[in-house]
Amino acid sequence: MSSTLESQRLALENLDAIEDALTQRFLRNPNLLPKSLRRKYDNIPPLGKNRAYTKRLFRLQQHELRHLSQEYDSKLKQVLSSVQNDAAAIHQELQSIEEDGTFEKFEQLIAPLLKDTNEGPVVRGVQQQYALFGSADPKTVKVKLKKRKGQEVVMAKRSDLLSNAASHIQNIELDDVLDLKQFHQFYNENFTSSEIPYVQYLYSFNKFPYEKSNKEVYRSYLKSLYNYLKQKYIVLYPLSDIVTILKEVESTVENKASQNQNGLGSELYCAVCDKHFATTTVYKAHLESKKHLKKVKKVGETFQNEENKPNAWYERSIQILATHLDEAIHQTEKYLVSSERARFNEEQDQIDIENEYTEIENSGDSDSNGESSSDSENDDDLFKNLPLGSDGTPIPYWLYKLQGLHKTYRCEICGNVGYKGKQAFERHFNSAKHQKGLQLLGIAEDQYQLFKNISSIDEAQNLMDRLKKEARLKQSELHDAIEVEDKQGNVMSYIDYLDLKKQGLK
């Protein structure tokens, strides 16, 4: 077949497959579309706390969509350039086929396309490359029969949801915790007289101006911090438009520069030259200087190259990026104060969710509504796993749901173990496993009864602190109520007597 026509046909086939892949992913989970790209009044339900997705899986899919959209743009440019460059050659080739008057040349052109028509699965070739769960290992894929619908569905692990075309981003680092420790250390060493803790720095690094000791050091600090925040924003929000944010920065900095040049600014500062001035006379003289006017002419070129931008641009960029990364800053603080055990339990829960099976081809009525497809899978299994009643036969399904046996209750104190049904969950509070967990938290055996029905580690620790505070308060009240008499016959409270005795007055 003609190499020109074949390359164009293949490129168009790729474009069609990518469009179909993007559509299928958004139909499966509309929440993948970022809020900045949605309509003002959208009716997409929030994802909420859904076991079908973890943060990692959700962001992996967004990175896959970003990769597919970039690949679509590059292939579209190739097609357009090919059509423009080879239009004459293609027209001549088609004209020769038309003049021939037979279908011989046409049959030669389409002969490669007619090969292997009966081979392979329904989704073949290019479409298979972009198919959801295309990177799944064939050994882990299984076929299951839905009893209620009588259909066979293909199941795969959620951790394999990416396509072959985007399988290289499977191991991308998607941690939503900011690592600003090196910037915090640099800040304490160069820009402050008294050191501040790391948590305080997380909420104050974007509050400018700093106490600047060295302009070059300050500029290199701003550049490094800006580049880190920019890369982190792209990793956490791959479908958001970073170009729009940078345009917002440029407009605000340019407006500030023009205001200062016209004497409208509240401070005597030149954003173009990145200089502060003490008096209005010196400031106005600077605005009329050749050096300043030369930089103003080049300001258009300056804003196209990040390396030559003024410090004010970097400061404003850091402030805007910090606003967009507010959720990540809160998550970083939460990570710092959380215990290692809580982190381990959370990570283990994420791994368990990713290793669960879900349908490869979903009909759009489960995951698109934000519900886990594994829930329907479990419902199918319930009829063969119903517990036996007193007569030795499985209990009715309505009774199974009435007793809450279809729900799983988890206890953090027991190591995030799940218990099926409310009765089993309430019984486990008297088990040795739960009491061992309380003991590890430092709770005395005689207080176990006070911690009944508490399954969260944070709630248990808060209650323990409250009980200790109440015990200290009762002890102090008891000592105030006790009256004693010293050797001279003076009557006083026991607390006052101990204070005087420590001072050597009794």
193 & 120 share domain: no
Q: With respect to residue 376, please indicate whether it lies within any of the assigned structural domains.
A: yes
DSSP secondary structure string for all residues of 101-151: -SSHHHHHHHHHHHTTTTSS-SS-HHHHHT-TTTT--TTT-EEEEETTTTE
Give me 419's structure tokens: 């218990």
Residue 274's pLDDT band, with cuts at 50, 70 and 90, is: low
Which pLDDT score is estimated for 157?
A: 77
Average pLDDT over residues 439-444: 86
Contacts of 378 (CB under 8 A, 6+ apart): 406
Q: Which backbone phi and psi does 286 adopt, to 5 degrees?
A: -65, -40
User: Nearest-5° angle of CA 333, CA 335, CA 339?
Assistant: 125
Strand partners, 358: 156
Q: Is 264 left (phi over 0), alpha (psi -120 to 50) or beta?
A: alpha
Decide if pLDDT at 462 tops 70. Answer: yes
Residue 132's pLDDT band, with cuts at 50, 70 and 90, is: confident
Strand partners, 270: 275
192 & 74 share domain: no
CA 351: distance to chain centroid? 16
Which pLDDT score is estimated for 183?
A: 92
Which pLDDT score is estimated for 382?
A: 46
Average pLDDT over residues 323-341: 83
User: 238: burial class by Cβ within 10 Å (0-12, 13-18, 19+)?
Assistant: buried
H-type alpha helices, 238-365: 242-261, 280-287, 290-297, 299-302, 311-324, 326-337, 340-354
61 & 100 share domain: yes
Among candidates 14, 21, 130, which has minimal Cα distance to 73?
A: 14
Which pLDDT score is estimated for 367?
A: 43
- Top-confidence residue, 493 or 184: 184
pLDDT, tens digit, for every residue of 400-431?
Answer: 777 777 788 889 888 888 888 888 888 888 88
Give me 467's structure tokens: 């009980």
425 & 477 share domain: no
pLDDT, tens digit, for every residue of 339-366?
Answer: 766 777 777 777 777 777 777 765 444 4
In the listed set 303, 324, 345, which residue is the last one of a domain according to the structure?
324
Percentage of the residues of the chain whose pLDDT score is greater than 70: 72
Contacts of 154 (CB under 8 A, 6+ apart): 141, 142, 143, 359, 360, 361
Among candidates 324, 318, 290, which has minimal Cα distance to 306?
A: 318
Average pLDDT over residues 198-226: 85
Which pLDDT score is estimated for 443?
A: 87
- Top-confidence residue, 259 or 327: 327
Which pLDDT score is estimated for 182?
A: 92
Q: With respect to residue 447, please indicate whether it lies within any of the assigned structural domains.
A: yes
Q: Are 222 and 311 in contact (CB under 8 A)?
A: yes
How many domains in the chain?
4
Q: With respect to residue 275, please indicate whether it lies within any of the assigned structural domains.
A: yes
- Top-confidence residue, 253 or 131: 131
Residue with tokens 């690949």, as numbered in its chain: 71
305 & 246 share domain: yes
Q: Which backbone phi and psi does 165 adopt, to 5 degrees?
A: -70, -25
Residue with tokens 């168009």, as numbered in its chain: 12
Which pLDDT score is estimated for 352?
A: 74
Residue 145's pLDDT band, with cuts at 50, 70 and 90, is: low
Residue 255's pLDDT band, with cuts at 50, 70 and 90, is: low
Average pLDDT over residues 82-95: 70
d(CA 179, CA 184): 10
445 & 376 share domain: yes
Q: Which backbone phi and psi does 155 adopt, to 5 degrees?
A: -110, 140
CA 236: distance to chain centroid? 5
Q: Which domain holds residue 16?
A: 3-132
pLDDT, tens digit, for every residue of 73-86?
Answer: 888 888 888 777 77
Among candidates 381, 71, 479, which has minimal Cα distance to 471?
A: 479
393 & 499 share domain: no
186 & 277 share domain: yes
Decide if pLDDT at 379 tops 50. Answer: no
In the listed set 270, 303, 324, which residue is the last one of a domain according to the structure?
324
Q: Are 243 and 320 in contact (CB under 8 A)?
A: no
The CA-to-CA distance between both ends of the chain, in Å, stands at 112
pTM (two decimals): 0.55
- Top-confidence residue, 275 or 221: 221
Average pLDDT over residues 294-323: 70
Give me 373's structure tokens: 């497809």
Residue 228's pLDDT band, with cuts at 50, 70 and 90, is: very high
Which pLDDT score is estimated for 239?
A: 85
In the listed set 132, 166, 200, which residue is the last one of a domain according to the structure?
132
Give me 447's structure tokens: 């207080």
114 & 209 share domain: no
378 & 271 share domain: no
d(CA 397, CA 420): 15
458 & 478 share domain: no
pLDDT, tens digit, for every residue of 147-203?
Answer: 556 677 777 777 777 887 877 887 777 778 899 999 999 998 888 888 899 989 998
Among candidates 447, 445, 439, 407, which has minimal Cα distance to 426?
A: 407
Q: With respect to residue 139, please indicate whether it lies within any of the assigned structural domains.
A: no
Among candidates 24, 23, 182, 12, which has minimal Cα distance to 80?
A: 12
Residue 301's pLDDT band, with cuts at 50, 70 and 90, is: very low
Q: Are 180 and 388 in contact (CB under 8 A)?
A: no
439 & 499 share domain: no
Which pLDDT score is estimated for 368?
A: 39
d(CA 312, CA 222): 10
Give me 47's structure tokens: 């994802």
Q: With respect to residue 167, please indicate whether it lies within any of the assigned structural domains.
A: no
Minimum mean pLDDT among 151-155, 236-240, 261-265: which range?
261-265
95-109, 273-287, 444-458, 475-489: which has the highest mean pLDDT?
A: 444-458
Q: With respect to residue 404, please indicate whether it lies within any of the assigned structural domains.
A: yes
Which pLDDT score is estimated for 133?
A: 80
Q: With respect to residue 157, please indicate whether it lies within any of the assigned structural domains.
A: no
Average pLDDT over residues 31-55: 68
SS (H, E, C) 404-463: CCCCEEEECCCCCEEEECHHHHHHHHHCHHHHHHHHHCCCCHHHHHHHCCCCCHHHHHHH
Which pLDDT score is estimated for 97?
A: 64
d(CA 66, CA 236): 12
Q: With respect to residue 348, please indicate whether it lies within any of the assigned structural domains.
A: no
Q: Are 492 and 484 in contact (CB under 8 A)?
A: yes
Give me 184's structure tokens: 């915090």
Give me 406's structure tokens: 């279809």
Other Cβ atoms within 10 Å of 402 Cβ, number: 11
Q: Is 104 left (phi over 0), alpha (psi -120 to 50) or beta?
A: alpha
What's the full length of the chain, in residues? 506
